[in-house]
């Protein structure tokens, strides 16, 4: 895919290794001074954006122990020299960063007992990158009184850097300023982190296993017809969804697939007549024997959970093409996991939380990253865990994240549309992980376009898939 590059997110240990690899730059405090300068610049820019000036504005630092507080204190000294009235609340006075505190006081910064009413911005320098758990009592008491925007250092305090778990209490930041590379929490807890700004301090982090496709990545990887393309080279996807009694899933899943690519959609099931009424371009068959050849299958939405559904799922998973399993198919699979564990061809499972619990035997809980990785590893399949932040993990633990940025897709039938989109991308040759993440991105954008600020149904979302792809391509 294209440029700008995929966003990569790193664990705390990876950042520590990258910092230590700089040698004297770390030992001599150069990295901290660079971080402090970048943090001060970000705070100044926010003051200018909100108030039109930096000089004469008021900022309060909330300081914990260790280097995170040191970054904030050194930044406070820089801001004070630029004419900002800077105060600091020390939540652990005996453990504040000594050199940072000395520089802060030398520049004219004041240590205070609480956030002054005059503060226009608060800097969260309480818990460092390797901190876990909720805010401690002293810090929680300070932030309970904060009514102005917060700029967090590295990761908002009370948010676990490696899991994105947002504890109670925790800090909710307007901006998070981080150094050298993004942290995993920035992808998994966007509401807590706010806008993330990365300051280059000269470290080179490596080995990210959590990534996010940009809109441009998705647009440039989307399967579009070329001069020599045919309906077969574009991908033929088979859809097994819905029934004559409940045709909605078949219609919506087919709608997503038709809108996603210009190949061919084959529908198998008792809702064939209704599906073709909605989409005359779909080739229909009443059963699997008459389906014809496909390059990927989507099976499960509204397809039932009886013995016939089990046999159909067994036959589909016995094929040698990629298979996406959703909804009722996941319920059947929960009782027969061997069908996918023993499979040696690409498989994408797309559960919501309830379906995940049936498959895994437990809820994904707060640490969704570990949960989705664990299930993908156990089943030997790629797992797309739906949510406002969707996680797509392959069996090796590589994860792509999509932040929808909205919840307009939280409506009945929206998941059927997503399955159709992702299935079409599988048929076009994308890997399960990329197909899932790209489909989630377009699905979220389609929901946003269709909603335009008001609730929608899944049919409206499906009609917005093509405009969503078009809008992504416009950013290239």
Residue ranges of the binding site for K(+): 68, 124, 157
| Binding-site sequence positions for AMP | 386-390, 415
In whole angstroms, give the CA distance from residue 18 to residue 23: 10
| Binding-site sequence positions | 67-71, 124, 128-134, 154, 157, 249, 302, 352, 386-390, 415-416
Cβ neighbourhood burial of 42 (10 Å; 0-12, 13-18, 19+): buried
Question: Considering Cα of 381, then 386, then 389, then 390, what sign does the dihedral take?
Answer: positive
Helix (H) or strand (E) holding 255: helix 248-260
- Name 401's bridge partners: 391
Contact of 286 with 242, CB cutoff 8 Å: no
Contact of 114 with 139, CB cutoff 8 Å: no
The whole-angstrom distance between residue 461's C-alpha and the CA centroid of its chain comes to: 20
**C-beta atoms surrounding 365 within 10 Å:** 12
Quote the tokens at residue 296: 């990927």
DSSP readout, 44-112? Answer: HHHHHHHHS-STT-EEEEEE-SSHHHHHHHHHHHHHHHTT-EEEEEESSGGGS-HHHHHHHHHTT-EEE
Contacts of residue 361, defined as CB under 8 A and 6 or more positions apart, other chains included, come to none
Q: Within 13 Å and on the Cβ side, how many CA atoms surround 282?
A: 33
| Binding-site sequence positions for (6S)-NADPHX | 67-71, 128-134, 154, 249, 302, 352, 416
Quote the tokens at residue 58: 């008021």
Cβ neighbourhood burial of 270 (10 Å; 0-12, 13-18, 19+): middle
In whole angstroms, give the CA distance from residue 333 to residue 148: 49
């Amino acid at each position: 895919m294209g440029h700008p590059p995929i966003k990569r997110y790193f664990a705390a240990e990876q950042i520590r290794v990258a910092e230590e690899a700089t040698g004297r730059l770390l030992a001599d405090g150069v990295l901290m001074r660079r971080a402090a300068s970048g943090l001060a610049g970000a705070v100044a820019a926010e003051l200018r954006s909100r108030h039109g000036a930096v000089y004469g504005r008021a900022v309060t630092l909330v300081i914990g122990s260790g280097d995170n507080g040191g970054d904030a204190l050194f930044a406070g000294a820089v801001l004070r020299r630029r004419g900002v009235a800077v105060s600091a609340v020390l939540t652990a006075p005996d453990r504040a960063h000594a050199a940072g505190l000395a520089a802060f006081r030398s520049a004219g910064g004041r240590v205070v007992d609480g956030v002054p009413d005059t503060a226009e911005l608060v800097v969260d320098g309480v818990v460092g990158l390797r901190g876990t758990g909720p805010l401690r009592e002293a810090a929680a008491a300070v932030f309970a009184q904060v009514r102005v925007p917060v700029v967090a250092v590295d990761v908002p305090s009370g948010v676990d850097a490696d899991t994105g778990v947002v504890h109670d209490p925790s800090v909710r930041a307007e901006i998070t300023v981080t150094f050298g590379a993004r942290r995993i929490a920035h992808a998994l807890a966007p509401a807590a982190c706010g806008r993330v700004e990365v300051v280059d301090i000269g470290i080179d982090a490596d080995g990210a296993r959590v990534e996010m496709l940009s809109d441009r990545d998705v647009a440039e990887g989307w399967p579009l017809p070329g001069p020599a393309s045919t309906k077969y080279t574009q991908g033929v996807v088979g859809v097994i969804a819905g029934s004559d009694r409940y045709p909605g899933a078949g219609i919506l899943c087919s709608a997503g697939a038709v809108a996603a690519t210009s190949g061919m959609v084959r529908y198998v099931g008792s809702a064939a007549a209704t599906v073709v009424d909605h989409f005359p371009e779909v080739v229909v068959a009443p059963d699997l024997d008459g389906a014809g050849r496909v390059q990927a299958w989507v099976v499960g939405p509204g397809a039932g959970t009886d013995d016939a559904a089990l046999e159909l799922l067994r036959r589909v998973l016995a094929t040698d093409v990629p298979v996406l399993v959703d909804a009722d198919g996941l319920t059947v699979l929960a009782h027969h996991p061997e069908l996918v564990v023993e499979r040696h061809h690409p498989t994408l499972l797309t559960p919501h939380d309830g379906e995940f619990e049936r498959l895994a035997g437990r809820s994904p809980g707060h640490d969704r990253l570990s949960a989705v990785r664990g299930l993908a590893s156990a089943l030997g399949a790629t797992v797309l865990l739906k949510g406002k932040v969707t996680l797509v993990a392959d069996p090796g633990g590589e994860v792509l994240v999509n932040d929808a940025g909205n919840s307009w897709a939280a409506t009945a039938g929206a998941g059927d549309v997503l399955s159709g989109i992702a299935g079409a991308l599988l048929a076009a040759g994308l890997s399960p992980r990329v197909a899932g993440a790209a489909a989630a991105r377009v699905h979220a954008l389609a929901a946003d376009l269709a909603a335009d600020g008001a609730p929608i149904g899944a049919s409206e979302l499906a009609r917005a898939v093509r405009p969503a792809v078009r809008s992504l391509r416009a950013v290239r």
